[in-house]
Structure 1
Amino acid sequence: MSIAAARERRDDRRGGDPLREGCLWHSTSPEPPLALDSLRGEHATDVLVIGGGITGLSTALHLAEAGVDVTLIEAGDIPSGGSGRNVGLVNAGLWIPPDDIREILGDAVGERANRVLGGAPAEVFALIERYAIDCQATRTGTLHLAHNGKGERELARRAEQFRRRGAPVELLEAEACRQAVGTRQIRRALLDRRAGTLNPCAYTRGLARAARALGARLYTHSAATGVAAAGDDWRVTCDRGSIKARRLVLATNAYTEDHWNRVKDHFFPGHFFQVASRPLAEALAGDILPGGQGAWDTRLVLSSLRRDAEGRLILGSLGRGEGRPLAYLRCWADRIQRHYFPQLGRVDWECTWTGRIAFTPDHTLRLFELTPGVLGVSGYNGRGVTTGTVVGKGFANYLISGDDGALPLPIRGHRPIRAKALRSAGYEGGFTLYHTGQCLRLVN
């Protein structure tokens, strides 16, 4: 099909459904939802995991692999939180570069975090292969895009730090960059070959399927309404039942809301919204991210670009999309698309959705034992797919052996974060101003 014919065919469809709210990953997941019961009556288990996202399911899966009696409860469906709503980038490391991590955490702990999280994509892909998880995974890397000269210098700094640690990264310049991304607006990109992409909803459902097949008991629509000590054990109550456990794992992260759950003291919430197009004809969009990589940029208000398995263009950025007028989100998506990919002409946008992010002031995660026998985690800062996977594996190892060495950080105490509401409001206000500036062409 010629480009002109593809555009004509696309224009014929423009009278279809307008942009709607709804998560693309849920509607396109090759892994079907599991039919799971809610918790009823009284039960007992060795380990109870609260939260059915990637962290909780990775914990349950790795415990079940070792033959541990484990039960997981989830307040909604699997997935209902950020595990099924994120960008689906299988990134290595944290958002901040390796030397910054070492400076914040100290030499020994910082390099431990760099090593464990640098290997996190391999852990994800190993699980996908071991349990035949159909999540449309690619393993061709991710691209970190420099949007201006300062960003180009930042990528050079990151590349040097990654190479010093033996990571397979490559700086793409000029024409090589244009061919990898499909735009002339980006002159330098950092390709990290450790990384990749997936459908995060499908990955999460695949983890649940594998955990259940190994004997883990999973319950959905079973929100924990309270936790109380029961001798040396813990009793967790739900609306229609309760469960007694020797150990608890609180894997609720950014979606922690219950008054009893102290994980909420250790992050301040933010959001990330995405807008997806209808599938684009290959004749129109085949030069956009042709290697299948997902991309994120060096902007102060981070943005993401990727394609899905059916050829949709998916744009995202920090901030809350839900509750905003669809016309506003369409305007933003049009502005970004025309800036980077004017060759597409007018694009029909299909759906938009928002997920939560757990932020911490220093952009690093927190791992803690809130009280003996109760593990918790918070603060993935937008790196949930890989970080959640390795934290779950590390939690399982710690519960079995008492050794926290498989975790990115040692388990230790943390002070609650102060002024959480103020921090969240400040972030969201800044994001909104930035996006409004982009819509008004005040910001590129």
Structure 2
Amino acid sequence: MSPDPRKTHGLWETSAPPAPDTVMLRGETRSEVVIVGGGYTGNSAALHLAKRGISATVLEAKSIGFGGAGRNVGLVNAGMWVMPDELPNVLGEVYGERLLNLLGDAPSAVFEIVKTYDIDCQLQTEGTLHCAVGAAGLAELQQREDQWRRRGAPVRLLSREETAQKIGSDAYEGALLDLRAGTIQPLAYVRGLAAAAIREGATIHTDSPALSVEKTSGGWRVATPEGSVTADTVIMATDAYTQGPWEIIRREQVHLPYFNFATRPLSDNVRASILPGREGCWDTKEVLSSFRMDRMGRLIFGSVGALSGAGEIIHKGWARRALHRLFPQLGDIAFEAEWYGQIGMTDDNLPRFHKFADGVIGISGYNGRGIAPGTVMGRTLAQLVAGEMTEADLPLPVTDAREAALRPFKEAFYEIGAQAAHLAGARF
């Protein structure tokens, strides 16, 4: 896995079981469906196609989970960032409610796959905690609770005292407990998803970037450095890390850098005082923070920013200060691992379904919610290809991909803004 996995995949690379054996594509081959991208969406689509007896070939440019699937914090969330009531306002009543229903149940789809295929990915199903920073944060969570509960979701707004007991810190005014959600080791999960797809009959080629896609008399021919696959259908599942054909998928998203630090395994007494229920957490700040525990008792703490150049020093110093404020019981904080990646943000913070040409489709733009949405969207694409649903039945409308306005400037602004916030943040 390249570049240096200590900076791109960190703790996940050192603690995940090995990926299934795969090889570079060499020579010409045929498949009913070719899937470009070996993350959650691509491997889920391959798994669900193979289970239906449809031949599926995945082409991954690097290694399984090289992109966002192997770098995120591992929160298996329900829904998206936007308020539940906002989805019907943006997408219309039909698509909005379909998407809410699909994504509300998405964590359970992940948990079922993990259990069915016995994937060793540190699964925790105790829920997540969205933590309120100040009165404004609490008001936001009150709205979220009301909107989800009206749809029957098992969410509950905890008091300040209940939140302190759940987290082991009195830093928050309250927290929204979502019992649908949980945490996993994300790289281990995507590797297990790929292994499940192979077990069901799919083919996966790594180190096989798609260099070109062209329509031929035999179907769509996807060329790689040393071979090609010809298929009736192409699924583009490269999301924020897209390069090559239909790179507009990347360009319609603004990259938001996000980093994580992992402490050394905590002592038993300290471990018992922090997240005793093992929920995953994030807060309501604009430059948000997230934290969770792994199986070995490492505290994983992350926020917006890139661990490169001056950002590496600034963000690491901030992380130590912020953790000390949250959890004084940690004492002298030592980090065992650090890594970062890019979140692809769309202009309305919602995913996209694109039909790039007849027989070329894709869903992308998860806005930092890739695990559960990617899994169920891969399944949805498989159902579409299998003829079990039509485009009119999808949870998203068909839209054209358009480059995000002022994208390079926004990306620079996010990193500069994160450095500024963290340079001054959490100081005594």
TM-score category, normalised to shorter length:
over 0.9
Higher deviation after alignment, 158-167 or 279-288: 279-288
CA separation of 1:203 and 1:254: change in aligned 2, threshold 3 A? same
Residues 303-337 of structure 1: CA deviation (Å, up to 9, x unaligned): 10111110011110122124446543331111111
Shift of 1:428: 2.2
In the alignment, the residues of structure 2 paired with residue 174 and residue 188 of structure 1 have an alpha-carbon distance, to the nearest angstrom, of 4
In the alignment, the residues of structure 2 paired with residue 276 and residue 291 of structure 1 have an alpha-carbon distance, to the nearest angstrom, of 19
Mapped pair 1:418 → 2:409 = no
Residues 379-400 of structure 1: CA deviation (Å, up to 9, x unaligned): 1100000110011000000011
Give 1:430's match in structure 2, choosing from 390, 405, 417.
417
- The one-letter amino acid of 1:411's match is V
- The one-letter amino acid of 1:160's match is D
SS of 2:109's partner is helix
Residues 157-215 of structure 1: CA deviation (Å, up to 9, x unaligned): 11011110000011111221111011011120000000000000110011111100111
Shift of 1:227: 1.1
Give 1:378's match in structure 2, choosing from 354, 360, 364.
364
What's the counterpart of residue 4 of structure 1?
none
What's the counterpart of residue 163 of structure 1?
149
What's the counterpart of residue 175 of structure 1?
161
Mapped pair 1:37 → 2:23 = yes
% identical equivalent positions: 43
| TM-score with structure 2 setting the length | 0.95
- The one-letter amino acid of 1:428's match is E
- The one-letter amino acid of 2:182's match is G
In the alignment, the residues of structure 1 paired with residue 249 and residue 324 of structure 2 have an alpha-carbon distance, to the nearest angstrom, of 41
Mapped pair 1:292 → 2:278 = yes
Mapped pair 1:130 → 2:116 = yes
Correspondences of 1:11-22 after superposition (within 5 Å): 21=7
The alignment of Structure 1 onto Structure 2 pairs a total of residues equal to: 421
Structure 2 unpaired stretches of 5+: 1-5
| TM-score with structure 1 setting the length | 0.91
What's the counterpart of residue 224 of structure 1?
210
CA separation of 1:190 and 1:325: change in aligned 2, threshold 3 A? closer
- The one-letter amino acid of 1:431's match is A
Shift of 1:132: 0.9
CA RMSD of aligned residues (A): 1.6
Mapped pair 1:58 → 2:44 = yes
Residues 81-108 of structure 1: CA deviation (Å, up to 9, x unaligned): 1101101001000011101222222222
Structure 1 unpaired stretches of 5+: 1-19
CA separation of 1:323 and 1:74: change in aligned 2, threshold 3 A? farther
Shift of 1:421: 1.4
Mapped pair 1:357 → 2:343 = yes
Contact 1:295-1:305 at 8 Å conserved across structures: yes
CA separation of 1:332 and 1:222: change in aligned 2, threshold 3 A? same
Mapped pair 1:305 → 2:299 = no
SS of 2:257's partner is strand
SS of 2:292's partner is strand
SS of 2:97's partner is helix
What's the counterpart of residue 317 of structure 1?
303
SS of 1:149's partner is helix
- The one-letter amino acid of 1:159's match is E
